[in-house]
Amino acid sequence: MVAAASVVTVIGAVTGTISALDHGRGSDQARRPEVTGSPTPVPAVPSPPPSPPGTTRTPTAVPRHRLPTAVPTRTAGRKRQRTTVVTPLLYRHPDSQVIDWVRAHPGDPRTALIESRIADRPAAVWFADFSPDTIAARVRTVTAGAAAEGRVPVLVPYVIADRDCGGASQGGAPDLAAYDAWIEAFARGLGSGEVIVILEPDSIAQSDCLSDADRAARFASLARAGRTLKAANPRARVYYDGGHSGWNPAAKQAALLKEAGAASFDGVFSNVSNFRPTAEEIAYDRQVLDALGGPRSLGAVIDTSRNGNGAPPDGQWCDPAGRRIGRAPTLDTGEDRIDAYLWVKLPGESDGCKGAAGTFTPSYAYDLAR
């Protein structure tokens, strides 16, 4: 799957990218999924690797437009009310590869830095295995944990049929009918609280590999998925695949998003697992949103997990040297129409060069965190 990344900070945020899969551990555990050449398993969940920018392949791999809640307060001696903005915090799921590594290596000289700069930050939870019988329970484990803490979880369904067009992160549901049923089960675990859904990274930006008929069928399925998620939990914020600023031109990406019905939901996400600078993504996402049309409330979320130094000049996408984490995850970006900076891809989970794809590699995490 192809993705792009950039990072942000969140006060009180807590930990890394996770996926939920039935890989080796109980089905009630949520973690980053494990996918061939990209995402990782449920229990120890890594995120998918990015695909080379400018190619039709993408790496494996939300906020409410304004999640803050207005709390009226009385001003002494006056009847007039003043509004205090309370920003919900993102959720750090306690089950991830980086947290496991930190706990298992208290004496490693790299541990303190990796813990403070990566493990203690909130990150997305990936669900990349096709497991219709257990998916609702695994999603519910994450959303219930977030609700208990009053935080907002970020979930990544990554099971679309023909995922990654047969590339490193190939896999997913056997067909779109099975995918529709899987999404219905996924939605049953959403609960009733605020939740951000990053719906199928690369499913739209990478759709050029499909025939016209297959692409139309996929986009219809993605539109159904959005409706299913919203029907199950109206407070869910559903974002659609916007690729990234080095991939499709904004007008082309917007046209594809429109075909998938994205204008009827909450907006777009960009830079998943990639390295494009945050400023470039902000400009690009606004262009996409303008071309997409729809209500002014549509916004964008940006993966900032590895874009601190921007994209490598040689176009390298597989664990490129010299990269850094970006801004920490936050729902308060201060930027018009940019709803959040998120860590969708967890820093330190390899694209497949410095370690097995989707697995946590401490040397890589340390380099990104320094």
93 a known binding residue?
no
Could you tell me how many residues make up the chain?
Answer: 370
Which of 162, 241, 351, 367 is flagged as catalytic? Answer: 351
CB atoms within 10 A of CB 334: 6
* Sole residue written with tokens 């803050």: 68
Which of 202, 266, 319, 339 is flagged as catalytic? Answer: 202
182 a known binding residue?
no
- 3-state SS, residue 95: coil
* Sole residue written with tokens 């018009």: 336
* Sole residue written with tokens 């969140």: 10
247 a known binding residue?
yes
Please say if 314 is a catalytic residue.
Answer: no
Please say if 285 is a catalytic residue.
Answer: no
CB atoms within 10 A of CB 55: 15
354 a known binding residue?
no
64: nearest Cα among 344, 317, 340: 340
Phi and psi, residue 70, nearest 5°: -85, 125
Alpha helices in the chain (DSSP H): 97-104, 111-114, 135-149, 176-187, 212-232, 250-259, 278-292, 362-369
The side-by-side arrangement of strands in the sheet containing 154-157 is: 18-19, 125-127, 154-157, 195-198, 236-241, 267-270, 299-303, 338-342
* Structural contact between residues 345 and 306, judged by C-beta atoms closer than 8 angstroms: yes
The DSSP letter of residue 242 is: -
343 a known binding residue?
no
65 a known binding residue?
no
85 forms bridges with which residues in the sheet?
A: 70
Q: Which residues 6+ apart lie within 8 Å of 3 measured at CB? A: 48, 49, 50, 51, 58, 59, 61, 201, 202, 244, 271, 272, 273, 274, 303, 344, 345
* Structural contact between residues 348 and 18, judged by C-beta atoms closer than 8 angstroms: no
Give the sign of the dihedral formed by CA 322, CA 327, CA 328, CA 330. Answer: negative
At position 258, the amino acid (one-letter code) is K
User: What is d(CA 34, CA 36) in angstroms, rounded to the nearest whole number?
Assistant: 7
Residues annotated in the binding site for substrate, as ranges? Answer: 126, 244, 247, 274, 317, 345, 349
Annotated binding-site residue numbers = 126, 244, 247, 274, 317, 345, 349
What is the set of active-site residues? 202, 351
